[in-house]
Structure 1
């Protein structure tokens, strides 16, 4: 039990940059499990999305910006609109375009949030 707690603490310090404040390992479990998966597996799983985004051309940056901001703001559309300096309806419109383009719905389906 202590060995696992120590290993988790070491992981927090080395991977999650948790040196300045009190942090709980279980707040970072998703990042921990994702760090255990090799890059090749990620590449194989997400290659379809990479190819779609690469073909998006001029809207590629918009897709990445809104998806990253949604994740950063925990899918709170008010916070997202403030961060992007756009109206909340613009965020909904952009998200609808992304849903059509990538055929996913990260708002209704939590599994789609990690594409």
Structure 2
């Protein structure tokens, strides 16, 4: 499995990269079909007019590719590590739903 990590307006530190690789490989260790993953981390420098602060200015996006299927998730917030956790939970939910759907269709295919 290939994991590509990109940063947009943000440098990817070794700690962030290790965190991403650890969480995503742990999440997909039961799925042999995963071809590739792309994770994009970005920082938006937009300032809120009222508070004069940036709000929810970190964005994390992930694309997980399986044969014939592609999953996408996005999370926004202030803390990058919390975003990575939220992102992996979203992708994990999609993968579990897909896996459950695949298991439900297997008996039908075997009967025919």
- The TM-score, its normalising length taken from structure 2, stands at 0.27
- The TM-score, its normalising length taken from structure 1, stands at 0.26
| Higher helix content, 1 or 2 | 1
| Higher strand content, 1 or 2 | 2
Looking at both structures, which has the greater relative contact order when contacts are Cα pairs under 8 Å and sequence separation is at least 6?
2
